[in-house]
Amino acid sequence: MIERLERLYDKEDSKSALEKIKKLEERYKALIKSSPYEMSEKDVILITYGDQVVKPSEEPLVTLKHFLDQYIKGIINTVHILPFYPYSSDDGFSVIDYKDVSPRMGSWKDIESLRENYRLMFDGVINHISQYSFWFKSFLANDEKYANFFTEVDPSVDLSQVVRPRTLPLVHEFEDEELKTRYIWTTFSKDQVDLNFANYKVLIAVLDALLFYIQKGATLIRLDAIAFVWKEIGTNCIHLPQTHELIQLMREVIHKIAPEVIIITETNVPHDENISYFGSGEDEAQMVYNFALPPLVAHSILKADCKAMTKWASSLRLPSDKVCFFNFTASHDGCGVRPVSGLISDEALNDLVQSVENHGGFVSYRSTNDNQKTPYELNASYIDIISNPNEDRRIRVKKMMLCQAVSLAMPGVPGVYFHSLVGSVSDVEGVKRTGVLRSINREKLNYDILTEALSEVGDLREMIYQNFKHFLSIRKCEKAFNPYSEFSFLDLDDSLFCIRRVSPDKKEEILAIHNFADSALIFMLPDFVSDGAYDLIKNEKIVDKTIEIEPYQVIWIKQTKEKND
């Protein structure tokens, strides 16, 4: 621990930091009851806001629990509650108080009640904090305790090397209590003021918050925007060695108290950079967001061509059997396109951008180092990214479920966004109200209206939810879908995306075949598929090695090996 600290701080500060870390460990060991947990095929994570569904005169977190218990209990076992802390902007990602629950959502009692039926994932929004937080207000008040909690920058300093995720200014002006202008580092917006981890006291304060989350029931911690967390003028300020050292240090502290806690890093960057957060496979994130998957799936369905996705997937490697990918197609953010840099051509990316705009969606941009604008993310509901809103509803459902099935079959743990589960389309009116493009996929839903749609046969929401329920009910029972099971990818046809999964005991395997073409295909099953195999989706035996697969159809072929094989 002291060696880690001394790679970040001088000897005196490292010694002080170690003493404070030991005190944190002593305090939280008495408060946290650790219990071993090993992830399995049963693990699926629902991504949702705390106020995702609302009822008049009821706390949103209470309403959310009612909905979850009615619609996902038994098929999804883990809930990622997006930032439910008091906040000032960005739908929760500008946190005012790390240790409180927004009174607009409920209380810690409501959060803890969710633990009865679900494992919980909390956000560590630790790159930045709200300008209205006590920490930043105290900093501007020149409170010595919060001195150097934030990064001040001389406005004449050249910051052109810094990687920018937004087109907004990197530095904003603030006036302190003495009416002095302070120039503060703000990676994402003026309301999201970056913390200064070069001050060891910031590390201690953040560790305290993360351990508090575990005390309150979090068994998974998502480190938001963690790639930007360490600032070093004269560098690009992304993926710095100090950033990886910080994550490893945080994991070491957390695992001394609760070794079952999973650390997930959120780094919406090109794939090779993203997977660096696995570290050695033993010391950093246990899961990383598989950010290349959503745009690659969208590209594949737009082109009816899986070559790029199959090539990328075939290159996937993990540094150990203790880490895995967090697979998803949609989240509260847009569909990031930086992760497919080098995986698809610029022309193909432009086609994807144009397609989303044709479907009524939007595109967000970022600034490059030469002050050029380049696409950063696609803003639309996922069903509107991969299908035209004017298409036949049945085709839309087939396309949507094809994409979700890929995410469910990929090696790792799947994450399902609430709006994907219930078949939400783009909320264009939300963008008009807020002026924020990401609002298009963050609509808060009326509980009664939503549940009525989910019960109406033939409604888009009902069709997608029922399909999801079917896929999830199958997946959780199959050992071959264990997050750490063996995987490989087959090239049976340019329009087919094929994943082979083998259970940890080698006794079961699944060949997941996904047709991205708008026409039926006939192909031969590989030789390793034996007699007795059957399709899990249709629950019928495979009787012929020559298979006809319908447009956008999914076939999950399971076979069981005899014990004496």
**DSSP string for 255-324:** HHH-TTPEEEE---S-HHHHGGGGTTSSSS-SEEE-TTHHHHHHHHHHHT--HHHHHHHHT---SSTT-E
Average the pLDDT over each of 301-315, 366-380, 417-431 and give the range with the smallest value. 366-380
pLDDT recorded at residue 536 = 97
State the DSSP string of 339-392.
Answer: GGBTTB-HHHHHHHHHHHHHTT-EEEEEE-TTS-EEEEEEES-HHHHHS-TTS-
Q: In percent, how much of the chain has pLDDT > 90?
A: 95
Report in angstroms the alpha-carbon separations of 312 from 104, 270, 286, 342, 490. Answer: 43, 12, 21, 10, 12
Domain range list for the chain: 485-560
- Inform me whether the pLDDT recorded for 565 exceeds 80: no
CB atoms within 10 A of CB 376: 20
More confident residue, 162 or 372: 162
Residue 134 in tokens: 């006590």
At residue 435, the 3 state secondary structure works out as coil
User: With contact defined as beta carbons under 8 Å apart, do 203 and 17 qualify?
Assistant: yes
- Look at 13-17, 21-25, 159-163, 188-192 and tell me which has the smallest mean pLDDT: 159-163
Active-site amino acid positions: 224
pLDDT confidence tier of residue 373, bands split at 50, 70 and 90: confident
Quick one: pLDDT band at residue 68, thresholds 50, 70, 90?
Answer: very high
CA-closest candidate to residue 552, choices 404, 390, 412, 335: 404
Average pLDDT over residues 492-520: 97
Lowest model confidence (mean pLDDT) among 150-159, 164-173, 261-270, 287-296: 164-173
Asked whether the predicted pLDDT for residue 474 surpasses 70, the reply is yes
Q: Which residues pair with 554 in a beta bridge?
A: 514
pLDDT of residue 386: 98
DSSP state, residue 558: E
DSSP assignment letter at 527: T
CB 359 within 8 A of CB 390: no
Strand 324-327 to 362-367 pairing: unpaired
Predicted local confidence at residue 564, as pLDDT? 41
Average pLDDT, the chain: 96
- In angstroms, the CA 501 to CA 480 distance is 5
Do residues 72 and 80 lie in contact, with contact meaning Cβ atoms separated by under 8 Å?
Answer: no
Planar angle of CA 488, 333, 382, nearest 5 degrees = 65
The reported pLDDT for the residue numbered 270 is 87
Task: Give 480-521 as a DSSP string.
Answer: GG-TTSEEEEE-S-TTEEEEEEE-TTSSEEEEEEEE-SSS-E
Amino acid of residue 387: S
Q: Are strands 534-535 and 521-524 parallel, antiparallel or unpaired?
A: unpaired
Number of neighbours of residue 192 by Cβ within 10 angstroms: 25
Q: How big is the CA angle at 136 (ends 10 and 251), to the nearest 5 degrees?
A: 50
Please check whether residue 95 is in contact with residue 85, taking contact to mean a CB–CB distance below 8 angstroms. yes
Cβ neighbours for 106, distance < 8 A, ≥ 6 positions apart: 50, 59, 60, 61, 62, 84
* CA gap 316, 222 in Å, rounded: 22
Whether this prediction's pTM lies above 0.85 is answered by yes
Structure tokens at 457: 């046969």
CATH assignment, 485-560 = 2.60.40.1180
The single-letter code of the amino acid at 250 is: M
